[in-house]
Amino acid sequence: GGLNTSLSANGSISLELTWANSPGFHPPSDDTSATLVILVEIGHELSEALPLWRQLGLLQRYLDMATQGSYDSLASLPRYEDSPATMQLAAIKEASLSLLQDPDSVANLCRWATGEDPGGQETKLTELSEAMRQVALGCRLDQDFTDKLWLLLIRCSKITDLLECMKFLFKAVNNDNGVNPYIHSNNQTRMAQILRKLKKGNGEIPHLEPNESLEILIEMGLHKLTHDYMHVYIESELATVDQIKQGLPHPHKPFCLQDITNKLMFLSQLHTILEVILLAYNHLSPSRHILAHLTNQALAKYKTQNAVLLDRLRTRQVTTFHASVPTKEAISYITSKFTSWRLTLTSKNSRHKVKTCLLITQYPIFPSGVGDHADSSSVFDDGEDSEDELEHFQVYCLVTNSNYLPEAYRPSHQRTLQNQDMTRLDMFRQDTRLIEIAERGSDLPEILSKTCHMYREPALDLIVSRI
């Protein structure tokens, strides 16, 4: 099959087409399967999801600090990477008060909560790019007060600043100076619960310990990022609410470190899937149906207990995702010539197996200087590609010979060995050779004939006769 590749700063997308019973260089109209191979670097600086990634990483560092448990009010807080400089305490207080007194945000949130459209028009489906823009800029319409407050409090440089900001905020709400922060009814974070009581006038300003202030901040971040990811997936119709919430950890008790770790793992899985889908969206412009199809496959791969992705919050890693797509849709993604072809032929009998893999590629598999004489510009015999276009292709052949004894022919003492011992002793005595055999003027049957002559394997003669 062929391989068509699209490169990006933060990853690449390849299209693999595979077909059988037709050893030609162009895919037949039927009996062809298509696979997208998406390789993406998680947390790349050019990713649209970078702000979310940085907030996830900050949550991880907060959690590390909370796990250690040995800090006081003078302890420094991890720095938010998106901030060019830490805000002064006075500036954070002023911004918090402005946030409390912002009537526009409260009005917009109320309209959203009641299902009203601010423009008086029917709500339209949100494109993925627009949904990402909203969460990246912190202007998601369905935010509540604690979501916006999170983006302010993460600018604190020390625990003592965090404590002072929270105390200032509690006093402002308790004094009832016309402030009325909007909080979702399903927001069960400790910050939300404290503010609700203070708004109703039946609560006292709490005295927080250093560890409590950090725990409250972590809860706010988890709440905010969970709704950020939900917004992108649901508003773009990438997945349903049930699909996203499947596997969502539910806390068993207030601030359990294991529950918090599980929730952070869940968010890292959603982020990895989002990075994969964004790369496909930006470079293939697939239909909404195909995007949902890719998302469903990515959810099946990454939202499992074996998909350990939490370490990616500490170090950027590359993930590779394979997704099957409808062939007719996939062919429309081809924007350039294929870069490689691979033909696999297999023949076997009761005691012998030969597998030959022929690779024709633009990308040499040996280091420069090894096999530079190779030139397979004439290996294509169908006349559809000019020699100028193919002069940089090289041909490689991998031949694997496997000899094995049927069980009836094994010595009786070997039949009693464990399976793994039999395999090691005589089941697969394998000889694998990788050779470069391309020469100017050679074609596909000639290449395979040379391979047969070189190894004199009767099975390969049968293979050649099938071409």
pLDDT in tens, 405-436: 555 544 554 444 333 333 332 333 344 444 44
The predicted structure's pLDDT at residue 135: 93
- CA distances 222 to 218, 328, 329, 397, Å, are 6, 41, 38, 53
The predicted structure's pLDDT at residue 435: 46
156 CB-near residues (< 8 Å, 6+ apart): 77, 86, 87, 89, 92, 162, 165
Buried b / exposed e along 295-325 (16+ C-beta atoms within 10 A): bebbbebbbeeeeebbebbeeeeebebebeb
Q: Which two tokens stand for residue 168?
A: 């200032």
The predicted structure's pLDDT at residue 166: 96
In the chain, how long is the greatest CA-to-CA distance?
A: 93
Which of 280, 186, 287 has the alpha carbon at shortest distance from 237? 287
Task: Report d(CA 275, CA 265) in Å as an integer.
Answer: 15
Task: Report d(CA 92, CA 151) in Å as an integer.
Answer: 10
Cα(first)–Cα(last) distance of the chain, in Å? Answer: 16
DSSP bridge pairs for 19: 32
Q: In this structure, are strands 32-41 and 11-19 parallel, antiparallel, or unpaired?
A: antiparallel
**Percent helix, strand, coil in the chain (nearest 5)?**
45, 15, 40
Exposure of 259 by Cβ count < 10 A (0-12 exposed, 13-18 middle, 19+ buried)?
middle
Task: Report d(CA 428, CA 402) in Å as an integer.
Answer: 6
The predicted structure's pLDDT at residue 378: 40
Q: How many residues comprise the chain?
A: 467
Number of helices (H) and strands (E) in the chain: give both, helices first. 17, 8
Q: Which two tokens stand for residue 436?
A: 């470069």
What confidence tens digit (pLDDT) does each residue in 95-115 have? 888 888 875 554 444 334 334
Taking the alpha carbons of 324, 329, 330, 333 in that order, is the dihedral positive or negative?
Answer: negative
Which of 321, 229, 300 has the alpha carbon at shortest distance from 271? 229
Q: Which residues of the chain have pLDDT under 50?
A: 1, 106-124, 370-390, 409-410, 413-445, 447-467
Vertex 379 angle, CA 441 and 374, to 5°: 65
The predicted structure's pLDDT at residue 363: 73
DSSP characters for 419-452? HHHHIIIII-EEEEEEE----TT--HHHHHHHHH
Which of 227, 238, 229 has the alpha carbon at shortest distance from 125? 238
Which phi and psi angles does 261 have, rounded to 5°? -60, -45
**Contact present, 398 and 454 (Cβ < 8 Å):** no
Q: Which two tokens stand for residue 443?
A: 């074609």
DSSP state letter for 239: S
The predicted structure's pLDDT at residue 358: 78
Task: Report d(CA 411, CA 352) in Å as an integer.
Answer: 18
Task: Report d(CA 92, CA 167) in Å as an integer.
Answer: 12
Give the 3-state secondary structure of residue 342: strand
Task: Report d(CA 390, CA 375) in Å as an integer.
Answer: 9
The predicted structure's pLDDT at residue 270: 93
DSSP characters for 152-182? HHTT--BHHHHHHHHHHHHHHHHTTSS----
